[in-house]
């Protein structure tokens, strides 16, 4: 990825693009990269910061050049020789008309004759409208696996042979550490290694867990992505949804090298639309565990920030992180909440529309193996552009659980509580939780079943405590009583669920198999188009 970035930058410099805007928080690494580029292109580097002004070969050219306007005047003269001018943290100085005009004139002189280029390095993107035609934005990619290996080797080389320090530089250890650290910046990788060095008096494969824990903290600090633990999850913990599970299991092999050689492309992603509480979020965690990939939850609501330009920068940073830790799974929960107002309001200055456009473009054109797992409850709030083919590989509809699925759900939760399922009347529990009890089209969700078992457990324990009967355990009657007190979501939102079902029959694949069980004359069918996976 870095080599592709360097080639692109060199092409743009040779083509006399006047201003390149490098979006990155890794200023030192960016400067190192441009040092190599300047050598390849036989151009000197002059940097500018507000504290040192213009600097050439480590020497400050003029103390007065800390003033941006004075620095521009001097740069115009210096630009007559082949030079890469690197401006660090320039965005606060491009907010008044005079500075904007001077920088624009500087860019025009570069484009029309000066053998130089202007490079802006900044952790945020704030571009005055007057300069938008002059600037080309590029993202400095985070270190890829090979670059991370070199960072680790360089860091550990400095401590080899120190008394009391044990450094393991075997290929297997370097590979394991590098894979754990992919997605971090160079400084973050070095910080993780330094922490491991101080904590363990050495670097070994045992430090993989230290790096992963630090990585989770760094991801969380972004406030947009959250590293979700999936250690205790598996597809077996999902009751039903057999069509969806078979589809996901088949796609796991798509990430093998042999699959790429066979001509198979990485899966783009999947969207689950359906009734709340029916296991959509659980599916995201379970597939990440089954595929043994990191699960990153993208909170689109947190992307939007108060400062103009920050929202777009937040989105770009989040997507860069997702690609950097690939292969990975990006989970966007209840995506309709963040995108429902697209195109209906100009009150945000078009920020929401631009964020949405960035997301759609990335989903369509991403080059890294990032699987997007989106969930939605209200399809009428989703923009039509999101649902067209090419964004997701498939759209599944998750309906209320059928009789077979409810049987599985009861078994899963009872076994999780270390209860013998043979001690419970599953047929009665399934009947009470379905249409035979509540009416046509009304069944308890998986979440409501779990809640009923939990409430039954509390009831059983309270009676056990009151009667001091230590043999009193959770019974079928306890769960039935809890279910009778439940007001099913399918009853309170019946019309809304029927609308989703009607939509799913035409536009989605059902996640469940069709039911083969009839309870008291009521056939509980899975809704949606049927496809044999």
pLDDT in the model for residue 408: 92
Question: Per-residue pLDDT tens for 389-443?
Answer: 778 889 999 988 999 999 999 999 999 999 999 999 999 999 999 888 888 888 9
Nearest partner of 53 among 32, 31, 68, 43, judged by Cα? 68
Average of per-residue pLDDT values in the chain: 85
* Arithmetic mean of pLDDT, 439-458: 91
pLDDT in the model for residue 307: 46
* Arithmetic mean of pLDDT, 315-321: 82
Q: What is the pTM of this model?
A: 0.72
pLDDT in the model for residue 55: 94
pLDDT in the model for residue 453: 93
pLDDT in the model for residue 530: 59
Question: Per-residue pLDDT tens for 479-499?
Answer: 999 999 988 888 888 888 888
> What tokens does 394 get?
């498939």
pLDDT in the model for residue 469: 79
pLDDT in the model for residue 311: 72
User: Which CATH topology does 403-523 take?
Assistant: Helicase, Ruva Protein; domain 3 (1.10.8)
- Asked if 2-139 and 403-523 have one fold, the answer is no
State yes or no: pLDDT of 306 exceeds 60: no
Question: Per-residue pLDDT tens for 197-243?
Answer: 888 888 888 888 778 777 777 777 767 788 888 877 888 888 888 89
Q: Per-residue confidence at 366, pLDDT binned at 50, 70, 90?
A: confident
**Separation CA 34–CA 81 (nearest Å):** 17
Higher pLDDT, 302 or 285: 285
pLDDT in the model for residue 331: 92
CATH tag for 2-139 (out of 3.30.70.100, 1.25.40.10, 3.40.50.300, 3.40.50.460): 3.40.50.300
| Range of lowest pLDDT (270-274, 306-310, 507-511) | 306-310
**Separation CA 494–CA 82 (nearest Å):** 71
Domain boundaries, the chain: 2-139, 145-221, 235-394, 403-523
State yes or no: pLDDT of 308 exceeds 50: no
Q: Is 261 exposed, middle or buried (0-12, 13-18, 19+ CB in 10 A)?
A: exposed
How far, in Å, are 89, 359, 360, 528 from residue 365 at the CA level?
Answer: 30, 10, 9, 29
How far, in Å, are 201, 233, 294 from residue 291 at the CA level?
Answer: 34, 11, 9
> Side-chain half-sphere of 264: how many Cα atoms within 13 Å?
15
Nearest partner of 456 among 470, 437, 476, judged by Cα? 476
Nearest partner of 532 among 246, 273, 304, judged by Cα? 246
CATH tag for 235-394 (out of 3.40.50.2300, 3.30.540.10, 3.40.1390.20, 3.40.50.300): 3.40.50.300
Higher pLDDT, 7 or 306: 7
Kindly report the length of the chain: 533
pLDDT in the model for residue 533: 52
State yes or no: pLDDT of 523 exceeds 70: no
State yes or no: pLDDT of 270 exceeds 60: yes
State yes or no: pLDDT of 21 exceeds 60: yes
- Strands of 140-224 (E only): list them: 166-167, 202-203
CATH tag for 145-221 (out of 1.10.8, 1.10.1740, 3.40.50, 1.10.10): 1.10.8
* Arithmetic mean of pLDDT, 364-382: 85
pLDDT in the model for residue 205: 82
* Non-local CB neighbours of 200 within 8 Å, separated by 6+ positions: 206, 207, 210
Question: Per-residue pLDDT tens for 142-196?
Answer: 888 888 899 999 998 888 888 888 888 888 888 888 888 887 888 888 888 888 8
């Amino acid at each position: 990825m870095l080599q592709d970035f360097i080639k692109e930058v060199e092409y743009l410099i040779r083509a006399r693009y006047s201003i390149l805007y490098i979006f990155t928080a890794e200023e030192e690494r960016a400067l190192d990269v441009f040092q190599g580029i300047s050598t390849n292109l036989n151009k000197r580097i002059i940097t500018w910061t507000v504290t040192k002004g213009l600097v050439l070969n480590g020497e400050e050219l003029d103390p007065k050049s800390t003033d941006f306007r004075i620095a521009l005047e001097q740069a115009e003269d210096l630009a007559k020789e082949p030079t890469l001018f690197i401006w660090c943290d320039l965005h606060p100085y491009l907010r008044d008309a005079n500075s904007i005009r001077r920088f624009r004139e500087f860019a025009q002189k570069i484009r029309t004759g000066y053998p130089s280029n202007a490079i802006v390095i900044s952790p945020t993107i704030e571009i005055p409208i007057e300069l938008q035609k002059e600037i080309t934005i590029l993202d400095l990619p985070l270190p890829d696996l090979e670059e991370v290996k070199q960072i680790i080797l360089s860091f550990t080389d400095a401590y080899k042979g120190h008394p009391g320090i044990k450094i393991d530089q075997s290929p297997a250890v370097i590979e394991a550490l590098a894979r754990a650290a992919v997605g971090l910046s160079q400084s973050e990788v070095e910080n993780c290694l330094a922490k491991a060095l101080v904590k363990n008096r050495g670097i070994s494969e045992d430090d993989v867990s230290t790096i992963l824990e630090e990585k989770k903290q760094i991801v969380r600090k972004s406030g947009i992505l959250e590293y979700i633990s999936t250690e205790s999850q598996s597809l077996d913990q999902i009751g039903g949804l057999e069509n969806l599970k078979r589809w996901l299991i088949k796609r796991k092999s798509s990430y093998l090298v042999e699959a790429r050689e066979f001509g198979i492309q990485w899966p783009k992603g999947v969207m689950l639309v359906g009734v709340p509480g029916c296991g959509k979020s659980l599916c995201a965690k379970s597939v990440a565990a089954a595929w043994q990939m990191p699960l990153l939850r993208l909170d689109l609501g947190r992307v939007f920030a108060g400062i103009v330009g920050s929202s777009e920068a937040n989105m770009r940073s989040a997507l860069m992180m997702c690609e950097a830790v690939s292969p990975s799974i990006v989970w966007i929960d209840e995506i309709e909440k963040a995108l429902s107002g697209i195109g209906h309001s100009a009150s945000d200055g078009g920020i929401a529309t631009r964020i949405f456009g960035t997301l759609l473009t990335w989903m369509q054109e991403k080059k890294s193996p990032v699987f997007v797992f989106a969930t939605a409850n209200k399809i009428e709030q989703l923009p039509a552009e999101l649902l067209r083919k090419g964004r997701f590989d498939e759209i599944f509809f998750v309906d209320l659980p059928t009789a077979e699925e409810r049987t599985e759900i009861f078994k899963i939760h009872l076994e999780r509580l270390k209860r013998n399922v043979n001690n419970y009347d599953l047929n009665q529990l399934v009947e009470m939780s379905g249409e035979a009890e509540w009416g046509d089209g009304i069944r308890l969700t998986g979440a409501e079943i779990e809640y009923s078992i939990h409430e039954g457990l509390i009831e059983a324990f309270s009676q056990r405590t009151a009667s001091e009967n230590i043999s009193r355990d959770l019974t079928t009657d306890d769960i039935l009583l809890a279910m009778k007190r439940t007001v099913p979501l399918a009853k309170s939102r019946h019309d809304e669920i029927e609308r989703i079902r009607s939509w799913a029959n035409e536009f989605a694949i059902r996640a469940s198999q069709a039911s083969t069980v009839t309870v008291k004359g009521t056939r509980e069918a899975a809704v949606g188009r049927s496809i044999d996976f």
